[in-house]
Amino acid sequence: MNKTTKYGLLLLLLIALPFIVNATPFLGPTWVRILGYAMLYVMLALGLNIVIGYAGLLDMGYIGFYALGAYLYALLSSPHLAESGLVAAALDWPFWVIIPLCAIVAGVAGALLGAPTLKLRGDYLAIVTLGFGEIIRIFMNNLDRPFNLTNGPQGINNINPLHLGDHSLKNTWSLFGLEVTPVINYYLVFLAIVIFVIFLSSRLENSRIGRAWMALREDEIAAEAMGLNKRNIKLLAFGMGATFGGVSGSLFASYQGFVSPESFVLMESVMVLAMVVLGGMGSITGVVIGAVILSVMPELFRDLVNAIQPVLVNNITFISEDTLRNVLDASTLRMLVFGFAMVLVMRYRPEGLFPSTRRRQELHDKDDEPFDSAHYVKESSHAKISADEPDNRDTTGEGR
């Protein structure tokens, strides 16, 4: 089976998945909605992968760009500004104008964030970007006075859904006898955008810019010595990654119909970062799988805990019921399992579950016994250099 056939079958499976899930009695529309959110997390993780995976810049405030896209979409496609008296009539901009605008605004914000942090690396960069994400959330939380721009902690509701022509994605329609509900509509649109984002990420990875990002990640001083413009490359990474976050945020606002600062807390940034690290920094396949695992598994875990909690509470008598319920809380246990899983990954597979070959080579380059691929590349490179050496010397005069 060739690669085109495999991708075609995978695409058909992904298209059929929401219909199968929707028709399954113990899953239903709730799980189709979860799949939609998983698509949004895939977009976010792919955007952060540009900054962290390709360029090696630890961005802990990535969720701030997500918030910018969500709030911009909410302001331009809801009656909130009219109700606040800031505009004369309710805004109802078309999505094909708002979403590119969200991408541009988030991209500019990313470049503005990157400008003062060009000389920072590692933990210091993480602290500064973490502060940026929190500043955005605090602004959203307090910009309800002196004029009501964001409605403060109450958030903005009545956000218009996406429209494809005259068809709203909130409407149900039928296709060959199959009922296409609003959550399936959104899932299919998100799937199409995710495929485009994956294609874009793949092209970026293999482009001249992508190679410059990786050179910067591997050795900043050597990259600069080879003539790469460190400032422009870093700003481009920040801006490009933020663009994906802005688009994802605008889709989130239209999907949920409501945005509030609580949706953009630090924990969301940590979740997206964990998706990239778990899947494998710099690997598109790994990041997609990591995003799906960490967005779907908590919901599976919640159902599992909710099912076993009553059984344990009724049968364990030497611990008080309140204590047992607190310990067996799904949200508490979920974070415990996340932490344990991340420790295991960092201990036994620091490059992630599905790392890129280049990233794996970087992490294992100093091992006593590098993995086969790295060894093969090293031997191949040495062999090629040795074979070409006489010709090179003839051409360049080197070694004479």
> In the block, which residue shows the tokens 């003539």?
227
**What mean pLDDT do residues 187-209 have?**
93
Q: How far apart are the first and last CA of the chain?
A: 52
**What mean pLDDT do residues 91-102 have?**
88
Residue 391 has pLDDT above 80, yes or no: no
**How would DSSP label each residue in 64-105?**
HHHHHHHHHHHHHTSSHHHHTTSSSS-----HHHHHHHHHHH
**What mean pLDDT do residues 227-235 have?**
88
Q: Output the pLDDT for position 186.
A: 93
In this structure, what DSSP letter does residue 216 have?
H
Give the three-state DSSP class for 109: helix
In this structure, what DSSP letter does residue 171 have?
S
Q: What is the pLDDT of residues 271-325, one digit of tens each?
A: 899 899 888 888 899 999 999 988 888 888 777 777 777 777 777 777 777 777 7
Q: What is the pLDDT of residues 117-169, one digit of tens each?
A: 877 777 888 888 888 889 999 999 998 888 888 888 899 988 988 887 778 88
Residue 187 binned pLDDT confidence (cut-offs 50, 70, 90): very high
Q: Look at 35-39, 296-300, 373-377 and tell me which has the smallest mean pLDDT.
A: 373-377
C-alpha–C-alpha distance, residues 67 and 232, integer Å: 25
Around Cβ 76, how many Cβ atoms within 10 Å? Answer: 22
> In the block, which residue shows the tokens 């302001």?
75
C-alpha–C-alpha distance, residues 192 and 164, integer Å: 13
Give the three-state DSSP class for 234: helix
The answer to whether the beta carbons of residues 62 and 51 sit under 8 Å apart is yes
The answer to whether the beta carbons of residues 11 and 196 sit under 8 Å apart is no
Residue 215 CA to its chain's centroid (Å):
23
User: ω before 146 within 30° of 0 (cis)?
Assistant: yes
